[in-house]
Structures are given as C-alpha cells and as structure tokens.
Structure 1
Amino acid sequence: MTARSAKDTSVHLDAEAGAGGEFRRQTNRFTTPFGDGPGELPVEAGRYRLIVGLLCPWAHRQLIVREVLGLQDVISVGVVDPIRGDDGWQFTLDEGGVDPVLGIRTLAEAYRRSDPEFTGRPTVPAVIDLTTGGVVTNDYHHLSTQFETVWRPLHAPGAPDLYPEELRGEIDEISALVFDRVNNGVYKAGFARTQEAYEQAYEELFATLDGLEERLATRRFLLGDHVTDADVRLYPTLARFDAAYHGAFHCNRQRLTEFPHLWGYARDLYALPGFGSTTDFDHIKRHYYSIPIVRSEYGIVPAGPDESAWLVPADRAALSSTPDEPYRRPAA
C-alpha cells in the first residue's frame, strides 16, 4: 500500500504563497518546444509518453487535444493516482505501483533523471522522452498548441483545426484572460492566505465568468461556430467547478449550473468526443478534497453533484451557422 501524506502538498503551497497571502504558481521547469529547429524536441511517433492526472485541469487540456486530433496511437499516456503521496505523484493505479512503460513508481523520478538538482513540485502534465526516461517538457501553457500545430503531420485524417492561424491572436487573448482569472483564478481563491487575497481572486473570477456568460449568449463556442483551443482551455475548469471549486475553493457565489449559457456550453462540449470521455469526476473529487487546506478530518469526499445532469442535451446548435459541424475543417 502506497503512503498518503499531506507533506508534499503543504510544503509546496507554503513556497507558492506571496507576501500578501496571494497564491503564486511555480514556473515550469522544462519548456523546450517541439519542432524541427535547433535545440527543439523532434516530433516522432512512439517516442514520448504523456503523464497526466485525470484530476488536473492542465493535463486535461492535453488529453482532450490528443483525442480530438487522433494522436492516441502516436503519444502514449500514463495516469497517476489522484491523491498525492509523500514523493509527489505516484503510479499506484498500475500493477505493482509501477508505470508499465517507464518502470518508475513516482513522477519525481523522471524529473530527477532530467535534473538531479530539481527541488520544485513535480507537476502534470509531463512529457517523458522514452529514449532517456526523463521529462522533456511540462509546459502546459503551450503543449496543446504544439500538438495542434507542429504535430499536425501525425494527426488522424480529417482531424479538425483547433488553432487556425487567422484566429490565433484572438484565441491567445481570450485564453490569457481565462487562465489568469478563471483557470488559475479558482486556485488563487482556494489557496489564498489572506481574506484580501481571496476576495480579490473571487471578484475577478466571477466578473470574468459573467463576461463569458454574456459572450456565450449569442455564440455556440468562444470564437463562434467551431471549437478552438480557447474552448479546450476553459472547459476543464468548468467541468471541475461544481464538483470541486464551488465548495473546496470557496468559489461559491453561484454554481456553474446557475449560469444558463455557460452550463449549456459546458454540456455541449461534454457531449463531443474528447471532452466527456476524458472527464473523470471521481478522480477530480478525490483529489481536491484530499488537499490539506480543505480535507475533511474523516476523509469524506462529497457524493454529488449529480453527474447525469451533464447528459441533458444543451440545445445550443441553433447558435451556429454550421450546427452539424462543431469542429472547423483544416485548410486544404
């Protein structure tokens, strides 16, 4: 039986607290991009293993893109336990507690193979080079767009264009706002060490959700008729909102289900291949309610909300001029 401890989480949360009690997320240690330029990571089928936690919104993005673009046979996936152990993320879900491809028990081992002096928090997602067994990138900020662009030669036939060139400026702009105020905003509220820091994050979060609610009143997806990388980035936070952030992180002005357009939008995405199929509410709840600052003394994990509500049809296709084509076809 693998040990469970709050030690790893508590130590790193202390390290990521600012002087004003605000949460400051650590920077990514490995950020070399994929490509064919000098010093870039070569794009090769079968060379890399993507390590994820089904609990993690940053990892969830990569799983969505991998499935939507048909990269399942190109990049393998390993899944860590949703509860962090004494040495970070562990492969307790695999037989013998060992990743069957990498032969390691903890993700920290792969980080230390790349950098023996690494002392930060080993994070998911992490891409492991099977030729070395070490982490080559944990840059969740850019990994999905790299899968969408430089990995295009390995996409499945007919895979959609999630990051069309002419929309990249707009996608990047809205994604930056969503990351700061929503994706990371819930963490800034949940991990705040002062009332002032919490309330600032809370107000920014809900002001941004109000703006997104208004935006989605007249368009099916964030950029219009088709799913883009911007939707891939927003969806994981929405999927975790009622199950975790509303209660565990005190983001409780209202639930996702109380935003008519955002809730319909989230269900619309959930029904598409790659979104609902990569959403694991059990892992999500078990993780967030194991974090020391929110964990029940008795280890109780909430039974709700009712997951069947995600299966109710969203009826948002009428907002689109291409209702039967939620994905944009790639340019010829």
Structure 2
Amino acid sequence: MKILFIACLSIWFFSSTLFSAPLDVRPAPPVADPVLPTEKDPFFVNSSTGVTHSPEVSGAKVVHHQDLNKKILIALVVASSLLGVILLFLACFSIYRWKRLKKYREKTNLSPVDAAKGISLGPILDKFTSLRIGGKKGSIGDIEYSLLVAATNNFHEDNILGEGGSGHVYKAHFDNDLHAAVKRLSAGGQVAEREFENEIEWLSKIQHQNVVSLLGYCIHGEGHYLVYELMHNGSLEFQLHGPSRRKSLTWHIRMKIALDIARGLEYLHERCNPPVIHRDLKSSNILLDSNFNAKLSDFGLAITGGNSNKTNIKLSGTLGYVAPEYLLDGKLTDKSDVYAFGVILLELLLGRRPVEKVAEGQCQSIVTWVNLHESL
C-alpha cells in the first residue's frame, strides 16, 4: 500500500507540475529600433474585424502548445510505466508469499488459520522432521526403533522420568539437539493396542497449547512406543505428592495450573468437532513444562462426546476421579471430566491425595473428607 501511495503521489506531482506551471507565450521583445515602422509590412489587418494579428505571436503559440503536449505525453507514459511495474511487483510478491504459505502448511499439515497464526509447535516439529520416515498417522511420524534406542541409551534406568500403569517414560536426546519423552508401553493385548491407536488418532487431530504434543510413535515387534514433547517439571501428581512436597507450587502457580487445565477442557468440550471426553483426567495426566504451563495428556481412553448421555460405556478411569453417575449408573457426559477437574482443584488447594487410607482396610476420598468437614 505504501508503494502504491508513492506511485500515485508521483503521478500527481508530474501532472500538477505540468498543468500548473505558467507558460509565457509572448514573443521576445524586439530590439530597440529608432526607425518607426511603416504601415506596409509589420502587420496584417483583417478587413472584416479590423483586428491586427502578429505572425510571430501565432507561431510562438503553436510551438509552445506542441512542446506542452509532448511533455504531458512523456509524463503520462513514464507514470503509467512506473505504475505498471509496481503493480507487477506486488502481484509477483503476493504469488510468492501464497506459494510459500501453502508449502509450509503441507509440510506441517496445519490448517490455513493455524498456519497464518503460526502455532508454537513449529520449531519442535521442524527439528523432528529428520526423524520421520514413510509411514504416518495424521501428522504424527513413524520413528525408527534404532533412533529411540540411541536417544534413550538403550532405555537405561538413569533416563527414567516416571512410570505408571501403562509403562515407563524415558528422557530421550536426539542428534538434532531435540529432547523428548518416550513412553514404552508395557501392557499387551487388544485393549492396549486399541488405546495406543486411540492416543495417536486423537493427538494427531488435537493441537492446543494446553494439550501435550505427540511427536511420533514406533511399533517394534510386540513393543509400542510414543514420543512426546518433553515436560521438564513432570506431572502435577509428582509436584504435589512427590519428594518435593509442593515446594515449587506457589499459590500463583497453582492458580495458573488450574486455569490451564480449564482451558484445555474447554477446548475439548466446546471447540473440538466432535467434542471429546477425556475419561481419565487426573493429576498424573496433567504435565508441567519448564514454566509450569499445564497440559492434558494420555488420551488412550478418550471418546467422542456431546450433550446427550452415553450409556453402556465400559467403566474406565481412576478411583477417586470417577464421577458418581458414571460409577453407579454408567452415564457418561462431559460433566464426568468436570467432576475429575473438581477433584484436581481439591488436590491443588489441600495437598491431599484423591483417595487416602484412614484405617486398616478403609479408605476415604478427598470429596468425602471435604463434605465431612463442611458439615462440622
């Protein structure tokens, strides 16, 4: 727009200069002559009007009008050429930018809106491109097993970041200076296979700042591996109930974590199409990066949801986080995730586990504990 404005300004300048410049068409003054002119030669008289005309003046007007027309014509040609060059340059630049944006979207498999915004995962995925090979599920790369072995030092115990019911998580360092987390799934069978496929399917579709990024996967024999972005501060469960015992979690950070979880759930329930019910929301599935930004993880049990109740859904989840209507009647809605979110809020506020042993063979949930103390 600036260039087009300059071009228009230039045309206006040339035009105004040519049309506004005063033109003196009077002939040069004659050289002083002491002899008076006679009536025979210098002037021609029009017999009908009696007006005299000077041939020198008429000739000067014709010459000056011809010069003026030439100057205007030259100015118009120059201005039109300049404007054409500018428009051609702008068209070429627009085409080049469009092709580059299209190439970037195809490379990262992003939507046009996300490519224009510039998702923050771009640098991570660019570093990870060299690890990907032919097979892909969505935008998730199939990684060679040998690369995982080298990156984790053959899954050495010193690189273990954590462990759970589904397997161990290892810290991995790849050659292109990329750090990641590799989950080696220990359970086998059809259930584990289905959850593995479900995790890849959902995380290849979901891209949000409060949902963990899945960078790749690997199937080697009976072993299944998932590669995530590295979350330096581990899980919320580790920060609340681990050896540090909440030392790093100030009240400001706890509020920030709660807001991040709420944003992630709002994205799954309200903005995904179709909506997504996580079904296993708990503090161990809330991961924290180096700045304590919280991200939802572990979508192996996630299913599509909506406003209508889903019945006859196999009971899944973790004791202490399962909603009562889902536990007793098998009714599953997005409110089941909201209930689990409420339990996590109580963990953040009280620092207690969702289920605690109070006596031999007796346990008490954090929700029950709060209800008992509220009634006192």
Q: Which has the higher strand share?
A: 2
Greater C-alpha radius of gyration: 2
Q: Normalization by structure 1: what TM-score?
A: 0.26
Q: Which has the higher helix share?
A: 2
Which structure is higher in RCO with an 8 Å CA cutoff and minimum separation 6?
Answer: 1
Q: Normalization by structure 2: what TM-score?
A: 0.24
